[in-house]
């Protein structure tokens, strides 16, 4: 299993306000679903931050997203380790297969893989 990118997710009441703020630091909108927007560096597109008002299908806003190349393998590894699954492994309508898991310090991690 390989990690493709790691993105901090910042919970906000106003995604537009968050986009404006991170835009002042030179980031540009890379994606916007309304409830989540990802801002990226034009020079280094892997340098990203997401602002989220909520999550479309999950019960929590994750603290970070760690994109993997195989969500099923990551999910199996977390289950084998006894980790708490916060959101079940599932295919999402926006083209990812993902699950949420809680880390040992209570942070919620989104583990998506693009299909």
pLDDT, one tens digit per residue, over 18-54 is 999 999 999 999 999 999 999 999 999 999 999 999 9
Predicted TM-score of the model (pTM): 0.90
Q: What is the mean predicted confidence (pLDDT) over 82-92?
A: 97
The pLDDT assigned to 115 comes to 83
**How far apart, in whole angstroms, are the C-alpha atoms of residue 62 and residue 36?**
11
The two beta strands, 108-114 and 64-68, are parallel
**Is 3-114 a CATH 3.10.180.10 domain?**
yes
Position 113 scores a pLDDT of 97
Dihedral sign from CA coordinates of 48, 94, 75, 36 = positive
Nearest to 88 by CA among 72, 65, 105, 103: 72
Which band of pLDDT confidence, cut at 50, 70 and 90, is reported for residue 85? very high
- For residue 1, the model assigns a pLDDT of 83
pLDDT surpasses 90 at 102? yes
């Amino acid at each position: 299993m390989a990690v493709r990118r790691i993105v901090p997710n910042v919970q906000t009441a106003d995604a537009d306000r968050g986009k404006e703020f991170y835009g002042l630091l030179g980031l540009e909108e890379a994606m916007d679903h309304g409830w989540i927007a990802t801002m990226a560096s034009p020079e280094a597109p892997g340098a990203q931050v997401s602002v989220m008002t909520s999550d479309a299908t999950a019960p929590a806003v994750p603290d970070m997203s760690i994109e993997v190349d195989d969500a099923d393998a990551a999910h199996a590894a977390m289950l084998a380790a006894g980790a708490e699954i916060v959101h079940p492994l599932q295919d999402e309508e926006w083209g990812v297969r993902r699950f949420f898991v809680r880390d040992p310090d209570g942070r919620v991690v989104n583990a998506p893989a693009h299909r």
